Amino acid sequence: MSPEQDGVVKLAKDLEGINLHNVPNPVKERRKKSSKRKIIPTSSLIRPSSQQKNGYLEGSPEFTRVPYTSFLHTSIRSFPTKSPTDIFYESKEVALFTDNQLYVAARKDVVPNLKKDISHLYESPLLEARKLKALYLGHDLFANIDELVPMTIAELDTIAPCISYIEDWRLNNPGKPFKIGKKFTVVTTRHHIVDLTMHLFDRRNKQKSLIATYMGNGFISLSRNPKYDHKMSKVGIYSSDPNIKKICYSGFELENCLTENTKNSGSSDSKCPVFSIVEGKLSEDIGLLMRCEMDAFNPVSKTNTELKCFGPLSMQNSNHRKKLLKTWIQTGLLPNSDIMIGLRDSYSGQLLDIQWYSRDALFRKFNHPGLPLNKKEMNYNAKVAVEWCNHCIKSTCDLVEANISHYNCNKPEPFEVNIDPNGTIIITKLNIIPRNVEIFKT
Ligand SMILES: [Mn+2]
């Protein structure tokens, strides 16, 4: 588990039980049990029906919430034989960023490469795979826990790599406007998108909160809500509980164990994170510029490999299915990704097995009709997750659009975006730009 994800998992867990003071009573909406596609009901709780258009008025300054009922989705029981379509209809890696420096996307030598034998694990038959990983099994994943220097909350959340990429792009394209979507370009770290998406599949999450800042000229940045920083600084890798720390640490140790040192990792004690900058398009109108932390690159298959360290998995356990859905979403945001899971013995910390998955194979593991139906958490349905991810981003853009003073405003306008336990997305205008919001030129 990378510190990036870990922070997110813990932050999400931590949002439990927090009530927002400025959010009106949530509209009680029952999720339909029907397996058919939903129909948009007019939500009379929002405004008089004479003014309604799909439950709200577009462009109206009073448009501050998107009710859950406007989310149309596939049946939670439907499992296509093929992995659901990608989250973006178009997406590409445009650059790499590490140690304050930008590199072209092809410079995979700055990414930790998988060790030679491990890089051959993909698609290798069982017997051969057994030989390839033999050397690594039994490795103590709790071994060097004292050497760990975790990323700070600010490092975890910075979009500096994206800003650096935009500036570089402008230098190379003088006079041209940088734009991914015709209307909006959302600049964000990957974990915010993963986090929004997982909201629907985690009943422990009471609500989700983010800062969306309209920077002008169609740029929207997403940042964490600093209101909850005090909670985040006590969880996950920052936790004082030695057992939680150990489990979080094992993810880092797995990365060290399976990858070669890169040139930039020798200089200091802690590994310098490497980010891929990804341009994704949700629609012609909405584009994203995303910072994705990378674990490893496979020089043989030429894929980005996401490394995960889990305890032994059982698909009868809904939390495990949730973890795999999260991994599937995460890897769906970075083009050309596959997954390698290191299974640890929770007590001794020994590495028990290393399993390789394509995204398709992973999808088939947690999404098939033979598994017990979990209605409360939308059956961890991957297709519904893709639809919900699209819905969240689109709704955020719609809400921002309806509440900004002007498309070409020259002063950043910050908003708090919350998703309540019922899945209603609510926007609140803020008077002050939170201190962690990174301002950039548009
Ligand atoms: Mn990872």
Cα(104) to centroid of ligand 1, in Å? 22
Does 416 have pLDDT greater than 60?
Answer: yes
Residue 130: its pLDDT value, please? 94
Q: Is residue 439 part of a domain?
A: no
Residue-level pLDDT at 270: 58
Distance in Å, CA 167 to ligand 1 centroid: 28
Q: How far is the CA of 440 from the centre of ligand 1 (A)?
A: 29
Ligand 1 centroid, distance to 306 Cα (angstroms): 5
In a domain, 83, yes or no: yes
- pLDDT for res 233: 73
Do 18 and 207 meet the contact criterion of CB atoms below 8 Å apart? Answer: yes
More confident residue, 38 or 268: 268
Q: Which two tokens stand for residue 197?
A: 């998406």
Report residue 32's pLDDT band, with 50, 70 and 90 as the boundaries: very low
Q: Tell me the H-state helices in 306-413.
A: 318-333, 359-366, 382-403
Instruction: Give ion ligand 1 contacts, CB < 5 A.
Output: 2, 295, 307
Q: Which domain holds residue 373?
A: 3-429
pLDDT tens digits along 151-186 = 888 899 999 999 999 999 999 999 999 999 999 999
Q: Does residue 440 form part of some domain?
A: no
Taking the centre of ligand 1 as the mean of its atom positions, its distance from the CA of residue 307, in whole angstroms, is 4
19 Cα–ligand 1 center, Å = 31
Start-to-end CA span in the chain (Å): 34
The answer to whether 72 and 31 are in contact (CB under 8 A) is no
Question: pLDDT band for position 303 (50/70/90)?
Answer: very high
**Distance in Å, CA 133 to ligand 1 centroid:** 19
- Residue 32: inside a domain: yes
CA of 305 to the centre of ligand 1 (A): 9
DSSP H helix total and E strand total for the chain: 11, 14
Query: 127 alpha carbon to ligand 1 midpoint, in Å?
Result: 26
Average pLDDT, integer, range 188-208: 92
Q: What is the pTM of this model?
A: 0.85
C-alpha of residue 98 to centroid of ligand 1, in Å = 16
What's the gap in Å between 252 CA and the centre of ligand 1? Answer: 8
All residues at 6 or more sequence positions from 407 whose CB lies less than 8 Å from its CB, including other chains? 216, 217, 218, 401
442 in a domain, yes or no? no
Q: Are 190 and 407 in contact (CB under 8 A)?
A: no
- Residue 263's pLDDT is 60
In a domain, 18, yes or no: yes
Q: What is the pLDDT of residues 321-370, one digit of tens each?
A: 999 999 999 999 999 999 999 999 989 999 999 999 999 999 999 999 99
The Å distance, Cα 337 to ligand 1 centre, comes to 12
Give the contacts of 384 (CB within 8 A, at least 6 positions apart).
73, 74, 76, 200, 378
Q: Within a domain: residue 266?
A: yes
Structural domain count, the chain: 1
Going from the Cα of 323 to the center of ligand 1, the distance in angstroms, rounded, reads 12
pLDDT value of position 35: 38
> What's the gap in Å between 308 CA and the centre of ligand 1?
5
CA–CA gap between residue 438 and residue 412 (Å, rounded): 10
pLDDT band at 33 (very low <50, low <70, confident <90, very high): very low
Q: How many A from CA of 30 to the centre of ligand 1? A: 35
Distance 368 CA to ligand 1 centre (A): 24
In the chain, % of residues over pLDDT 70:
84
Size of the chain, expressed as the number of residues it contains: 442
Rounded to the nearest angstrom, the distance between the alpha carbon of 1 and the centre of ligand 1 is 4
Strand order in the sheet with 296-298: 296-298, 303-310, 337-344, 351-357
Query: Is 192 among the domain residues?
Result: yes
* CA of residue 2 to ligand 1 center, whole Å: 4
